[in-house]
Amino acid sequence: MTHRSKRMKKDDGDGFQIVLTIVLKINSIIMYKYRFVNIVIILLLVVILYSCTDNPTEPKPEPKQYIPVDTARMYDWTYKTGTFPTNDYYVLDTSNIYFATGGIAVKYDGNQFITLNMGDNRFYAQTVSPLDKECVFFGGEKRGVNFDYIPVVKRYMNGVVDTYVLPSDTNDAIYTLFAISQEKFWAISRRGVAYYYDNGNIKVFNSKKFRSFHIFNS
């Protein structure tokens, strides 16, 4: 009886040890499984945070799109028709628009076209460069009776005309002009000669490069 009871106790102890071993194995498996899940969750969080902006709680702004503005629709347009050709023109404002017609010099005052008296009916205006509405320069040529012509610039200031005859050894005319001040201007002739006028002093730059040169009035 005693020997049998001892054997039963030994079997019970072995069974308990087996059960305990199984429980520990299951627990280790569960812990390993959850550890793997935790690693996956941490990696997902890292990826999400890395892909976010500085402020992940705010949505990303929409990319800016350039939408051109149709400024022509912002104004009421009217049209005026002149009875002259136009070689060059300059707009100071809607009441001061100047034209070089290849012949006469013309101003549009907002209502009508006015022929400016340049004091010389042999002057043909080819280009124009105003400083302001009181001081406007015209460039062109002065034609002779034998179909010869020389490069000339005229300054129209408050109705008074001053004439600047530029040196040339052949027939030529001013086709590009840029006024710097009341006493200074640049002029380019049709043959590519550049003139710099400074209060009575004239510098001449003769180069073929100037034949395709154009000064943009600003």
User: What global pTM score does this model have?
Assistant: 0.62
d(CA 87, CA 176): 11
The DSSP code sequence of 16-56 is: HHHHHHHHHHHHHHHHHHHHHHHHHHHHHHHHHHHHS-SST
Give the per-residue pLDDT at 147.
Answer: 79
CATH architecture of the region 71-212 = 7 Propeller (2.130)
d(CA 97, CA 109): 7
Indicate the pairing of strand 135-143 with strand 123-132: antiparallel
| pLDDT, one tens digit for every residue, the chain (218 residues) | 445 444 445 555 555 555 556 545 555 655 555 556 556 565 665 556 555 555 556 666 777 776 777 676 777 777 778 788 888 999 999 899 999 999 999 999 989 999 999 988 899 999 999 999 999 999 999 988 887 889 999 999 998 999 999 998 788 999 999 999 999 999 999 888 999 999 999 999 986 555 544 443 33
Could you state, in order of their start, the residue ranges of all structural domains in the chain?
A: 1-67, 71-212
